[in-house]
Structure 1
């Protein structure tokens, strides 16, 4: 006869939310980078002790890679949405720069720029897997901008003989510059003006 009894599992269930813990780890890495972030800081941020961290995410490097992938996914979705929601190439570029600057200056301890070009960039020199993940993330941004400029060509906003890939590279470079300068201590109003000038340069290059 089958007994209808609940089977109890040994051990306690995880007392954490994995997505929330990963988000907190990302925030911690974002401020200090991989090398300078200690396991004690990660434990404090996530509310998990070291054994729990290892059990949930692997070692510190594995956790950092998971944080990078989460940041990439979030950024790709946000950028695609910004490009889709704006009626013109100009609006898409202006609002993307505005959203990027808002993100770059969102750190509790000060401006921190982009996670990829800040926290992840240094470790990529000696870590092939991290370097590959970082490059793929940067190429995700390029592809989103290529789609924007190709759409602009179909709408007549961008010259038919323009090179969408070259324009996309320039648009990505503008974001990277804003990120680095934000993390280096540049003032937000100065970067807002620089972003506007950068968009103007891009639009002149793309003009039909």
Structure 2
């Protein structure tokens, strides 16, 4: 039997493969995010991840496979973050604001030029000619829609939205606000202005849901 202390000692000698892969994916994502898929070179990815080309190929495959992996991970991480932000017993308006504030925090990374959303900013370009990228983009957008829709359905059950409110349509509107924040942040809009846009969107969603239900 392997003792707990033995396992700890083995791990201390070198980082687990999963940890290295996560770190490499994060650095590769940031490189693609800054330059876009097409303009990013293998040399830049190698420098960013600290892995030579054979190691990159061995771990992730070619450049396209690495890019697809970063997209998949980005969608999953942000889906989980959205669901956490929308969970709990906080009022609907508060929960929506929390999602948009988290998004703005991501789009306006401290010390760097506003970069918007990695998925929308890079995949929307590549999806035109790449079926796999298009599939991940569509899957990601649907996942974000579903997270909003689930929260709106719960809001209906608690009387925050009227019973006749269209949760699916409100979810698409809520997602559209996210898309606007992503694109406009990269286009140069100020964070405060986009925060005001998000606030107006939250008010519109809550009012539309209440009005439709006759509340």
TM-score (norm: length of structure 1):
0.90
Matched, 1:60 2:63: yes
Residue in structure 1 matched with residue 149 of structure 2 by the alignment:
146
Query: What does 1:88-167 align with in structure 2 at a 5 Å threshold?
Result: 88-106=91-109, 108-167=111-170
Contact 1:113 1:183 in 2 (8 A): yes
- The verdict on how the C-alpha distance between 1:19 and 1:157 changes in structure 2, with shifts beyond 3 A counting, is same
How far, CA to CA, are the matches of 1:14 and 1:80 in structure 2? 28
State the 4+ residue runs in structure 1 displaced beyond 3 angstroms: 13-16
CA drift at 1:18 = 1.2
How far, CA to CA, are the matches of 1:28 and 1:112 in structure 2? 12
CA drift at 1:85 = 3.4
Contact 1:43 1:49 in 2 (8 A): yes
More helix by share: 2
How far, CA to CA, are the matches of 2:101 and 2:109 in structure 1? 12
Structure 1 stretches of 5 or more lacking a match?
Answer: 1-12
How far, CA to CA, are the matches of 1:120 and 1:65 in structure 2? 9
Residue in structure 1 matched with residue 50 of structure 2 by the alignment:
47
Contact 1:31 1:119 in 2 (8 A): no
Instruction: Compare 82-91 and 112-121 and name the one that shifted more.
Output: 82-91
SS in 1 for 2:112: coil
CA drift at 1:109 = 3.3
How far, CA to CA, are the matches of 1:179 and 1:104 in structure 2? 7
Structure 2 stretches of 5 or more lacking a match?
Answer: 1-14
Aligned residues: 196
Contact 1:31 1:107 in 2 (8 A): no
CA shift digits 1:30-81 (9 cap, x unpaired):
1111011111110110001111111110000000000001101100110000
**In angstroms, what is the RMSD of aligned CA positions?**
1.7
How far, CA to CA, are the matches of 1:152 and 1:53 in structure 2? 46
TM-score (norm: length of structure 2):
0.87
Out of 182, 191, 213, the residue aligned to residue 188 of structure 1 is 191
Contact 1:100 1:175 in 2 (8 A): yes
How far, CA to CA, are the matches of 1:100 and 1:122 in structure 2? 21
Out of 6, 9, 23, the residue aligned to residue 20 of structure 1 is 23
How far, CA to CA, are the matches of 1:200 and 1:30 in structure 2? 31
